[in-house]
Structure 1
Amino acid sequence: MASTTSGDVLPTGSRVFITFPDLFFIPEFVIGGLVWILVASTRVEPANPLGWVMFVSVFCFVGTTLWFFIFVCGGNQSSIWPAVDAGFHFLAVVFYLSASVDLAYITFVYGLNLPTFDILKIYRLDISAVVMSHVATLLYFLHAIFSAIRWKRA
């Protein structure tokens, strides 16, 4: 049985691409970027809930990108980083879950009156954004759970 007596709980460098909870970085990055692009390409009359969805998608996209580069560069070797890792991903789960519910509700209400084909195209983009938002929530949730398990083991 291998032991980790060297104290490096979190991976650095290219090990980020092969360790279990950290291999979620790339799908989170891609799916979060898709949510950002899909929401930005639609137009919905009550823009306020979509503003929250845009904030969440941009915040998590930038946060995941910075977090990924911190891991790759090896700046995560302090003893506090496993807790911060779990905390960031749980915050991302809460944010994305609230944004997903808001986006799904607005899309449902918007879909009740579809008068023209152009609006149907936008409605389909909104549906895609809802699906991608829920997938991003699931990815961040899995990453948060396994980061919390790793934190408790450290």
Structure 2
Amino acid sequence: MAASTTQAMGTLPSGLGICTTFPDIFYLPELVFGGLVWILVASTHVNPPNPLGWVMFVSVFCFVLTTLWMIIFAAGGHKNSSGWAAADFAYHGLAAFFYLSAGVALAFITLEKRDTNPFRNYQIDIAAVVFAFVATLFYFIHTFLSAIRWKSF
């Protein structure tokens, strides 16, 4: 319960504060579940390449940018600016939208390939779909809380 009381919503955290404040506490779960999507989709044969290429792009893009975003916030590069709060909201909103579209595409392809895929690959694809939607949920929650923080500046 201490996570929500360590810092006011109208400020941006720095250093280890990103591990104890909302919405920044969601950086690590976003990285974990996004990385799992990336690993699971890459571990099976990427067929058809078009929608699964989009899933790979989204998972790698969001993984890299979330890592950079977390480093910038941890280093205090935001200087507690409301512009950074708005950018945080915009980035996480875009990431939530991207992951939602990638999750839907991945679920569609997984359902289409259920009879032609080996059962092990089907199970891996199902796990990737679940993790894509969990990552979507974390990015959406981060977006919602970032909007509240941005408006409180």
The amino acid across from 1:98 in the alignment is S
Q: How does 1:3-82 map to 2 (within 5 A)?
A: 9-77=11-79, 78-82=81-85
In 2: Cα distance, 1:52 partner to 1:69 partner: 25
What residue in structure 2 maps to residue 131 of structure 1? Answer: 130
From 90, 95, 115, give the equivalent of 2:98. Answer: 95
Unpaired runs of 5+ in structure 2?
Answer: 1-6
Displaced runs of 4+ in structure 1, greater than 3 A? none
2:82–2:150 CA contact under 8 A, matched in 1? no
The amino acid across from 1:35 in the alignment is V
- CA RMSD of the aligned region, Å? 1.4
From 96, 107, 110, give the equivalent of 2:110. Answer: 107
**How many pairs align?**
145
In 2: Cα distance, 1:125 partner to 1:113 partner: 14
TM-score, structure 2 normalization: 0.91
2:85–2:149 CA contact under 8 A, matched in 1? yes
- String of CA shifts for 1:69-97, please: whole Å, max 9, x gaps: 00100001233100000000000011000
The amino acid across from 1:97 in the alignment is L
- String of CA shifts for 1:77-135, please: whole Å, max 9, x gaps: 23310000000000001100000000000000000335xxxx11011000000000000
Larger radius of gyration: 1
Gap change, CA 1:44 and 1:59, over 3 Å in 2: closer
Displacement of 1:45 = 2.8
What residue in structure 2 maps to residue 151 of structure 1? Answer: 150
Alignment partner of 1:80: what SS? helix
The amino acid across from 1:149 in the alignment is I
- String of CA shifts for 1:131-150, please: whole Å, max 9, x gaps: 00000000000000000000
Identity of aligned residues (%): 58
Unpaired runs of 5+ in structure 1?
Answer: none
The amino acid across from 2:137 in the alignment is L
In 1: Cα distance, 2:47 partner to 2:16 partner: 45
The amino acid across from 2:129 in the alignment is V
The amino acid across from 1:131 in the alignment is V
